[in-house]
Amino acid sequence: MQYKRILLKLSGEALMGERQYGIDPKRLAEYAEEIKEVVDTGVEVAIVIGGGNIFRGLAGQSNGMDRVQGDHMGMLATIINGLALQAALEDKGLETRLQSAIKINEVAEPFIRRRAMRHLEKGRVVIFGGGTGNPYFTTDSAAVLRAIEVEADVILKGTRVDGIYTSDPEKDKTATKFDKISFTDVLNKGLKVMDTTAFTLSQENELPIVVFDMNKKGNLLKIVSGENIGTVVNL
């Protein structure tokens, strides 16, 4: 296997499947199956899940809500998604733990780095909910932060597109895909991989990012097996 410990970042929107809002149980079950295939190889899997399918702080702000209030709602949304993903993974027979960045002890363990690492060593899938626990951050930042903290080898960012392109392939038909690209080139070319805070944190800590299409069956397993899927961002 190419990696021993991975951090998988899934956006909340990915969980919507064909829906406009919320969680599509079919999509959730498909993701759980993909994740199980990887866990079965012995690779340790941590997951950070977004909340955009339920609520984003910025959307609240544009409707006149206080930003921090909205961000708190967004963080809670990530915990709802985390619970849903946990249930789907357990349905496949996997052992899991949900750790939250905000205290919600009846529902999820608090985030404790050493405990998270112990769970991973034991082959449990650890889902990190609640983002970073702070407003004004994103779950991409949470993903990078947690990946560094638990010493993951890589961040796998599952998206709807199969990598990083010269421009948005959903809008520009002439766009071409990079197989690999450096952090510096992403910045110089003004490409969008993650928000700047998350991206810089990854760069500074030399944590590679793989951007790939999570909706293509088997992709996740192929990446951890060392196949060239998606785009790798590295030094």
Residue ranges of the annotated binding site are: 9-12, 51-52, 56, 71, 132-139, 159, 165, 168
**74 vs 230, beta carbon nearer ligand UDP:** 74
Q: Is 183 one of the binding residues for ligand UDP (CB under 6 A)?
A: no
Determine, following the binding rule CB under 6 A, whether residue 82 of this chain makes contact with ligand UDP: no
Binding segment for ligand UDP (CB under 6 A), chosen from 5-13, 92-100, 166-174, 201-209, is 5-13
Rule CB under 6 A: choose which of 2, 13, 33, 225 binds ligand UDP: 13
- Provide the CA 99 distance to its chain's centre, in angstroms: 14
Among 96, 100, 138, 202, binds ligand UDP (CB under 6 A): 138
Residue among 6, 43, 57, 128 that touches ligand UDP (CB under 6 A):
57
The only residue of 2, 135, 161, 215 in contact with ligand UDP, by rule CB under 6 A: 135
Q: Does 158 bind ligand UDP (CB under 6 A)?
A: no
Choices 21-29, 68-76, 157-165, 178-186 (CB under 6 A): range interacting with ligand UDP: 68-76
Check binding of 134 to ligand UDP (CB under 6 A): yes
Count of residues of this chain found to bind ligand UDP when the rule CB under 6 A is applied:
25
Binding flag, residue 100, ligand UDP (CB under 6 A): no
> What is the 3-class SS of the chain, one letter each residue?
CCCCEEEEEECCHHHHCCCCCCCCHHHHHHHHHHHHHHHCCCCEEEEEECCCCCCCHHHHHHCCCCHHHHHHHHHHHHHHHHHHHHHHHHHCCCCEEEEECCCCCCCCEECCHHHHHHHHHCCCEEEEECCCCCCCCCHHHHHHHHHHHCCCCEEEEEECCCCEECCCCCCCCCCCEECEEEHHHHHHCCCCCCCHHHHHHHHHCCCCEEEEECCCCCHHHHHHCCCCCCEEEEC
Distance (Å, rounded) from C-alpha 235 to C-alpha 232?
10
Under the rule (CB under 6 A), what is the footprint of ligand UDP?
Answer: 11-13, 50-52, 56-58, 70-71, 74-75, 77-78, 131-132, 134-135, 137-142
